[in-house]
Amino acid sequence: MDIAEEQRAFYGALLDQYGDDPRALSHRDQATQYERFHRLARLFEGASGPFSVHEVGCGMGHFGEFLQHHHPEARYSGSDVHPSFTESCARKFPQGTFHTRDIVASLPPERYDYLTLSGTFNVRLSATPEAWRGFVEGMLAAMYALCTKGFSVNFLTTFHDPEYTREELYYQPPGALLDFVVGKLSRFWELDAAGPLYEYTLRVYRPEHVHARHADPAFARYFRSAPRPVSP
């Protein structure tokens, strides 16, 4: 069973058990789910006018509900490997577009201002650590290719209480992650580990977006390099 198939089976079983509930997406409760959402949404903090946000692993659209309350100017859409999730999102957000697809296996043609992903990287299941690292890097590259401004994702941190360690979960070393991001994607990034959970949020920005926000000629010397092409 490949990673996408195992994810479909795992989250499908949670959906059958919990229904439209944060636990169906492997969140403990709404409080911890929304803590993650707030940190992901800092990606577009201060953005003006309407902008598009595409959630990878959109689940039941809980992030879309969060955006309706906190960022009503966002145009929400999503992708998921499980059809029941995308069907639910389409009912909740008839103005959005939702796709049942694996964006790593086949890069979609659409582009979005921002992309987000929450929790997907935490549950490794039976994949080997090496296979999971390849999945993570492929997903980050795909998200970078699909965004015009930036993306945000979250990870369980290796700096956690050993009491909470679980074999089926994946703990991402921040240093190795940044080696990949800076070496393959963009030098413009943020790590946010200031919350109460044993995890951190990565926000990555495209150079052209950062350049547009720092248009003063004094900063021109920092934007001489052309953006790297990305092949997920």
Predicted TM-score (pTM) of the model is 0.92
Give percent of the chain with pLDDT exceeding 90.
Answer: 74
- Residue 216, SS3 per DSSP: coil
Given this model, what pLDDT does residue 75 score?
98
Question: All domains of the chain, ordered by start, with CATH?
Answer: 3-223 (3.40.50.150)
Question: DSSP states of 102-151 as a string?
Answer: -TTTS--S--EEEEEE-SGGGB-TTS-HHHHHHHHHHHHHHHHHHEEEEE
The predicted-structure confidence for 136-174, as pLDDT tens digits, reads as follows 999 999 999 999 999 999 999 988 878 778 877 899 999
* Averaged pLDDT of the chain: 92
Given this model, what pLDDT does residue 29 score?
85
For residue 1, what pLDDT band results from cuts at 50, 70 and 90? low
The predicted-structure confidence for 13-67, as pLDDT tens digits, reads as follows 988 998 888 888 877 788 999 999 999 999 999 898 899 999 999 999 999 999 9
